[in-house]
Amino acid sequence: MAKNFKLDLIHRPRRLRRTASRRALVEETVLSPADFIAPLFVVDGNGRPEPIASMPGVFRFNLGDLVKECRELLKLGVPAVALFPKLDVKLKDEEGTAALNPEALVLRAVRAVKKAVPEITVITDVALDPYTTHGHDGVLTPDKTDVDNDRTVEILCEMAVMQAEAGVDFVAPSDMMDGRVNAIRRALDASGRTDTAVLAYSAKFASAYYGPFRDAVGSASAAGTHHIDKRTYQLNPANRREALIEACLDEQEGADIIMVKPAGPYLDIIREVRNATNKPVAAYQVSGEYAQICAAARLGWLDLAKCRRESLLAIKRAGADMILTYFAKDQAKELAK
């Protein structure tokens, strides 16, 4: 080969990658703490934060420590939290009746956070899985073979109104029942809570990535298994078009934000939903996604900080406007450096 061999190229894309400053100028996707929603687990009592074994670095907080965590997150620029209660198993039953207790743990948590840190946006889950002995997101049919759609929606509407009255900013139905967004929106409006927004789990798949979350809220131990079969109401991971149908229905029914869950294994769905709606799109980087990155990093197989950042960049690049992630606090700290 000739000593001074040169390709006759007009276009050399590498010119824009030669230096850090050039790369910064042309960077297309930028992460900010304002992109993140931090999922937080809450328990009753005054004990120290309880570590969750399957989610290293994630804890269940009592109300006092929950408030402290929310203050820290807000100082780091994280604008929102999503609250998930872990109940004493003695409070659970087949109907999930504890969800409608006016002094339910999650309602007390909302009141405490909004009183102490009014600037932070608070999101609450609207589903029955933390409250039922069987671990399903709704009440069962008389023969116990499936979740009763319409009877569940009736309960979810009551839950949503109670959460709104406690001061929550967003109610987030995660149950995947048919028609629940419309019913919840109507119930909120009828109760005078027109300012309470709905963040809908619109494309929530029957994923194998939820196991650590079920540990965190106790739905796995209540049901006696991590592998609760929710395929009659959550989406088939094989189906793209069905996910778009669900997202479009939720938009028509009044959802303010459309969410895809999980995030990482469903980047194509996030992009499809982004292209199908002008509504804000959220994505939930779920417990299994978090746990697998942490586990591989602990074994020395991955660089935790780099993989954390890359995974979040991918979700935002796919089209998510906001990301629920257990990495919210650590990633916000890194971005502040």
pLDDT score for 337: 84
pLDDT tens string 120-157 = 999 999 999 999 999 999 999 999 999 999 999 999 99
- Annotated active-site positions, please? 204, 261
Selection from 120, 87, 80, 91 nearest residue 106 by Cα: 87
pLDDT tens string 220-279 = 655 455 568 999 999 999 999 999 999 999 999 999 999 999 999 999 999 999 999 999
Query: Residue 127 burial by CB count (10 A; 0-12/13-18/19+): exposed, middle or buried?
Result: buried
3-state DSSP assignment of residue 75: helix
pLDDT score for 227: 66
Q: Which two tokens stand for residue 151?
A: 């009877």
CATH code that applies to domain 29-336: 3.20.20.70
- Quick check: 2 pLDDT over 90? no
DSSP symbol at 127: -
- Phi and psi of 300, rounded to 5°? 80, 15
pTM: 0.95
- What percent of the chain has pLDDT above 90? 95
pLDDT score for 159: 98
pLDDT tens string 280-301 = 999 999 999 999 999 999 999 9
pLDDT score for 220: 61
The Cα 7–Cα 4 span in angstroms is: 10
Q: Which two tokens stand for residue 50?
A: 């309880």
- Phi and psi of 76, rounded to 5°? -80, -5
The structural domains of the chain, with segments of one domain joined by +, span 29-336
pLDDT score for 252: 98
pLDDT score for 267: 98
The Cα 321–Cα 256 span in angstroms is: 13
- pLDDT band at residue 315 using 50, 70 and 90 as cut-offs: very high
b/e string for 272-289 if b means 16 or more Cβ within 10 A? bbbeebebebbbbbbbbb
- Quick check: 166 pLDDT over 60? yes
The upper half-sphere exposure of residue 286, i.e. CA atoms within 13 Å in the direction of its Cβ, equals 23
176 and 153 Cβ atoms separated by less than 8 Å: no
The Cα 103–Cα 324 span in angstroms is: 26
pLDDT tens string 203-222 = 999 999 999 999 999 886 55
Helices 149-166 and 180-190: crossing angle in degrees, nearest 10, is: 40
- Phi and psi of 242, rounded to 5°? -65, -35
pLDDT score for 226: 53
